[in-house]
Amino acid sequence: MTQDVASHYSSTVDLAGSILAALRGAGKDLDTLTTADLRSVDEFHIRGHAATLEIAGQLGLDSASHLLDIGSGLGGPARSIAEAEGCRVTGIDLTQAFCDAATALTARVGLADRVGFRQADATRLPFDDAAFDAAMTIHVAMNIAGKDSMYAEARRVLKPGGRFVVYDVLQGEGGDVVFPVPWARDPSINHLATPETMPALLAQAGFRLLETQDSTAESQAWFEAMAARLATAPPAVSFRIFLGEDFPVMARNQVTNLRERRIRTVTYVCEAL
């Protein structure tokens, strides 16, 4: 299963090289690259940078904090939060190609002293107990059947009182997901929790639920705008670079899934007991 998930996100071997070449072709000066230049591709979640900043404000961070990003992808959220809050961030991802690209892009924007990445499984984190001040996971658990193990591991590596923010896609009440979608081309690696089961999963892992935010309507508007852009004026570098040529189909399906409430986007703000 883990190999199937990693393969889904690994269509391009040299992701960083492909991204940088596309940016250069669009007229970007790679010697003065900023985190903002990467946002069309490296904040691989619904509502993008705006959602990242919301999460940053919920984590209770300061410049002395060490944040764990579980499922860090290309590293966009980790870099954005390190830049905004002045903290350290360690990201883990199942896909080695993502970790390699995240490391290279982080060096390009001058954040390698505060942000690092390593390949790891979210259900078996390679860190000591109570190693982090805060943790987050953004659009990751949709591919993980063992959510109980994932959340228990997040609790294990967090200090008591540390914040854990989960922002994920959940199964909605409107019927089965229409595939392909960005996290799965078919049901084989699709493992959506429901809004009804999430509070119990988090409580059983050792978290106190502080706040729940359903952003489904905002997510629908965001994907409608993205689908329109892809149809008329696609950006020079986008998620297509690692998801492949069917990404516009995925974007259209996401509009359907959100509009018909086949999926929901929900954020859970938790505290480690």
Tens of pLDDT, residues 137-163 = 999 999 999 999 999 999 999 999 999
Q: Closest Cα partner for 167 from 48, 37, 5, 10?
A: 48
Is the model's pLDDT at 8 over the cut of 90?
A: no
Q: What is the pLDDT of residue 12?
A: 58
In sequence order, what are the residues at sequence separation of 6 or more whose Cβ sits closer than 8 angstroms to the Cβ of residue 85? Answer: 56, 59, 61, 62, 63, 65
Per-residue pLDDT tens digits for 172-219: 999 999 999 999 999 999 999 999 999 999 999 999 999 999 999 999
Is the model's pLDDT at 11 over the cut of 60?
A: no
Per-residue pLDDT tens digits for 33-49: 999 999 989 998 999 99
Q: pTM, whole model, 2 decimals?
A: 0.95
Q: What is the pLDDT of residue 237?
A: 79
Per-residue pLDDT tens digits for 73-124: 999 999 999 999 999 999 999 999 899 999 999 999 999 999 999 999 999 9
- What is the rounded distance in angstroms from the CA atom of residue 20 to the CA atom of residue 180? 27
Average pLDDT, the chain: 93
Domains of the chain: 2-272 (3.40.50.150)
Kindly state the percentage of the chain with pLDDT values over 70.
96
In sequence order, what are the residues at sequence separation of 6 or more whose Cβ sits closer than 8 angstroms to the Cβ of residue 132? Answer: 66, 67, 68, 90, 157, 158, 159, 162
What's the distance, CA 222 to chain centroid?
A: 16
* Higher per-residue confidence, 69 vs 26: 69
Give 129's pLDDT tier (boundaries 50, 70, 90): very high
Across the range 233-250, mean pLDDT stands at 81
φ/ψ of residue 31, rounded to 5: -80, -15
Across the range 54-75, mean pLDDT stands at 97
Q: What is the pLDDT of residue 10?
A: 60
Q: Closest Cα partner for 95 from 103, 84, 87?
A: 103
